[in-house]
Structure 1
Amino acid sequence: MNYFTLNDPVHPGELIKEDILPHFQWTIGQAAKHLGIARPNLSNVLNGKTALTVDLALQLESAFGVDAEMLTQMMTTYAIKKAKADPDRKLADRVPEPA
């Protein structure tokens, strides 16, 4: 699956949950214990309920070899796309070009 696309970005937790952990034959609980974080916190990231932090991205890179920069770029792309799609989000009006 192509996880890094601009048109339909996915939360990086999906990559970790569907590809990284199964590759190592690890459960969410095993990964959380190894990473030193609470299982519910990791589960929330892997299920797209909370954002992936830079710290967690670095921990995942150290533990599993997945590139932290790629994960954070995925998170940023996902967050921007989601924010732009929010109909309740009020954005500033465009500033006119100087004459």
Structure 2
Amino acid sequence: MAGNPLLSGLAPTHPGEILREDILPALGLPKTAVARRLGISRQTLHDIEAERLPVTPAMALRFGRLFGNAPEFWVNLQRDYDLRTLEAEMADELGAIEPVAA
């Protein structure tokens, strides 16, 4: 996937990392309170933070509402993470596909 050359070699960032490292500490709220406001279980919030669950469109809508940002921010983070992760996993398979000229 062609992209920013400054990012080449860097591991993709899961939205849970941003949530864990930046957003939640800045809120200053207990995770139980955040989960309650989002209408999800504390375990679900923990699993997203731990990068075990993706940020779904429904979760992106919840995050956008609670944090005052666009749900597209969260969906785009997840999409970029998924594409970069899958591209690395499929490198050999993708390399075997001969492109056609448009």
Q: TM-score range by the shorter chain?
A: 0.7 to 0.9
Aligned to 2:31: 28
Structure-2 separation of matches of 1:18 and 1:27: 14
Structure-2 separation of matches of 1:27 and 1:42: 12
Structure-1 separation of matches of 2:23 and 2:100: 47
Distance 1:56 1:89, change over 3 A: farther
User: Any residues of structure 2 matched to 1:27-66 within 5 Å, and which?
Assistant: 27-66=30-69
Query: If the length of structure 2 is used for normalisation, what is the TM-score?
Result: 0.75
Percent identical: 29
How many aligned positions are there?
94
Q: Which ranges in structure 2 are unaligned for 5 or more consecutive residues?
A: 1-5
Amino acid at match of 1:63: L
Structure-2 separation of matches of 1:89 and 1:71: 29
Structure-2 separation of matches of 1:64 and 1:94: 42
User: What is the alpha-carbon root mean square deviation over aligned residues?
Assistant: 2.5
Contact 1:11 1:48 survives alignment (8 Å): yes
Could you report, residue by residue, the CA deviation over 1:8-30 in whole angstroms, capped at 9, with x for unpaired residues? 32001111121111111023221
User: Any residues of structure 2 matched to 1:64-75 within 5 Å, and which?
Assistant: 64-75=67-78
Q: CA deviation at 1:93?
A: 4.7
Amino acid at match of 2:65: S
Q: Which ranges in structure 1 are unaligned for 5 or more consecutive residues?
A: none
